[in-house]
Chain A
Amino acid sequence: MIEATDVNKFYGRFQAVRSLSFRISEGEVVGLLGPNGAGKTTTIRMVTGFLPASSGRIEVCGKDTIRHSLAARRNIGYLPESNPLYPEMRVMDYLTFRARLHGVRASKRQQAIGRSIERCWLADVAKKRIGHLSKGYRQRVGLAAALIHDPRVIVLDEPSSGLDPTQILETRNLIRELAKDRTVLVSSHVLPEVERTCDRVIIIVRGEVRADGHPARLLARLERDHPPVHVVELLVDNTAPDARAGERTAAGGWSGDVARIIAQLRSVPGVRLVVLDTMSPVRPSPDPAPPAPASLASMVSTSRRGAGSIYGAGGGSHWVRLTITPELGYTDLREPIARRLNMGTVLYRDLERRLPTLEHVFSSIIEADRLGPSTPAGSDPRQPRPEAA
């Protein structure tokens, strides 16, 4: 359906895209991900035939986008990045214009326009001027125009930029629905959206493909390279005076109850690192990203200052959160951790395995890129700094 072979694109001396190759087969929904300036829009413009590649070739439905440009364009429905429209036109007139432009026959035109209007929920604004519509409605008009000729390939450049969460959800559902019998290429930097709508993700950074695959498979790979951290919230008795003073003991950590628990957890096979995450009152809902581990002194001062408000299960005991980093190859340590805690009769209320999201894949690739090509696969931003251990 879409096939790019060794595509390069130069703007003057700046190389926007480097030896890009990919193949998108019929019925696939592919997300094109990348930071700003990575070459997403350039790639999309080359796919739609708006810009030629400096070298290499792109085919859509077997037609070269430059040499057989018109034939290739007939199969493409395209929503450009900024969704340019004619503000002085009415929605209905604009869709009629687009239908004629795409050569939709007069006999089928009304039907095609009606279908597009229905699909993009435009019925109540069909007679309004585009310039008077809200951004969300304008985005739908752009989408409706891209679908008017029932194309086999749909290319959407940042379809949800500037939309509110409800509209993003609607757009996502629409893309899912369209994808049933079409090929869709959608560029985005809204990661959850791509994760939920796409069968496949192509990540490009600085004009190069850095990852290509099913989101779940990319995540599995990341999970293997960067085992998911486990977070456990448990009740400790922190009355030992040396702990309050924040002094390290010979045990290499906190004295009293915490130190004992940490030592126990460390001895679980597969555990690489146990970090005392926070001593402030632990909120029941976990944050998406754990807060950066505080320094020893600040942690202690927090515990003192907040002593009154801390869940005081008698005396000096309160809830703490521990972050456990497994060793390579250990992806799920929940059971051994739970067993160990139960053995020591430690009361815990949450044991969570923080699965990586596409965002982590993305940031680890970008981080790797920032550190230079010699660094293997990048460092995981979820991993706590070792000095806090």
Chain B
Amino acid sequence: MTRLLALTSREFSSFFRTPLGWVVIATFFCLSSVFFVQTSLRPGEVATMRNFFSTWWGLLLFLAPAISMRLISEELRTNTIEPLLTAPVGESTVIASKYFAAVLFLVAMLLPTGVYVVVLDTLSRPDFGPILAGYLGLLLLGMLYLAVGTLASALTSSQTLAFLGTLFTLLLLDLVPHRFGPGLREPFDSLVTAVAPSIRMQDFARGLIDTSNVAFFLAASLWFLALAVLVLQSRRWR
């Protein structure tokens, strides 16, 4: 546990020791503010953040790979993985700590957007249910994206490759079922739409917290993380 904490805190603080962390947070906050002002902050508009969560998913598609790309790639490139994995820590602890740090960073990135809720609350009387559900959905989606990113980062020592690999995987995961799922024949359409994160996200935006959706995101994240642990362990079989 001490080791997991030590690794997580080192990883988390390393986001802020490099410009990357600040750039990602600033980019997200600036862009989301623009969307907020344009879509929600209009006279006569309903006091929800629904439109707005859906634009964030799009942002997350690019920001999550940027957060996760250096997690393990950087250690592989500079070979700091060697002192790390010759210390008494297992591969699963390393992956878990990296992942937790990335998720914490995602939370840190979302925290400033609480300002929008405060703004809505002062101007109007928003329904907090859908807003909380929306945030939960965003967090779960981000967790899945970061898990995919962690796997990609474990596969290569190049951060660019990790970024692109994550981005393409996420696009495949998101767009393909969304676009082509409904057009398929009977058993396949429900099968394909079942694994589409974007379709599941619509429930969250509506303020609906379905346990099957929560389970899906957590299980899918775990699956990608388990693959990442296997990748890191694979040097022992080669």
Contact = CB atoms under 8 A, between A and B. Distances in A.
B83 A89 contact: no
Nearest to B16: A88
B46 interface: no
A100 B6 contact: yes
A82 interface: yes
Tell me the dominant secondary structure on chain A's binding face. loop
A97 B17 CA distance: 15
A325 to B, nearest CB: 48
B86 A103 contact: no
Contacts of A371: none
Nearest to B237: A52
Contacts of B86: 48-50, 73, 76, 78, 80
B205 to A, nearest CB: 38
B89 A101 contact: yes
B232 to A, nearest CB: 12
A261 B81 CA distance: 66
Given A74-B88, A88-B14, A88-B17, A97 B6 contact: yes
Interface string A242-254: 0000000000000
Interface in B1-60: 2-3, 5-7, 10, 14, 17-18
Nearest to B236: A52
A360 interface: no
A102 interface: yes
Contacts of B84: 101
Contacts of A86: 10, 14, 78, 80
Contacts of B85: 50
Interface of A: 45, 48-52, 66, 70-71, 73-74, 76, 78, 80, 82, 84-86, 88-89, 97-98, 100-103, 145
A74 B90 CA distance: 12
Given A100-B3, A101-B6, A50 B82 contact: yes
Contact of B79 (A66, A82, A103): A82
Nearest to B81: A84
Given A73-B86, A88-B17, 14 more contacts: A45-B82, A66-B236, A80-B79, A80-B82, A82-B79, A84-B80, A84-B82, A86-B78, A88-B14, A88-B18, A101-B84, A101-B87, A102-B87, A103-B3
Contact of B88 (A45, A51, A73, A88): A73
Contacts of A71: 88
B169 to A, nearest CB: 28
B185 interface: no
Interface string B65-99: 00000000000001111111111111000000000
Contacts of B236: 51-52, 66
A97 B14 CA distance: 12
B7 A51 contact: no
Interface residues of B, number: 25
A84 B237 CA distance: 24
B179 interface: no
List of 9 A-B pairs having minimum Cβ-Cβ separation, nearest first: A100-B6, A88-B17, A84-B79, A84-B80, A48-B86, A73-B88, A80-B82, A101-B87, A70-B88
Nearest to A79: B83
B125 interface: no
B84 to A, nearest CB: 8
Contacts of A78: 83, 86
Which of A76, A80, A100, A145 counts the most B-chain CB atoms under 10 A from its CB? A100
A75 to B, nearest CB: 9
19 contacts: A51-B236, A52-B237, A66-B236, A70-B88, A70-B89, A73-B88, A74-B88, A76-B86, A78-B83, A80-B83, A84-B79, A85-B80, A86-B10, A98-B83, A101-B3, A101-B84, A102-B88, A103-B2, A145-B83
A86 B78 CA distance: 9
Given A74-B88, A84-B78, A100 B5 contact: yes
Contacts of B18: 88
A97 B10 contact: yes
A84 B83 contact: yes
Nearest to A148: B87
Nearest to B17: A88
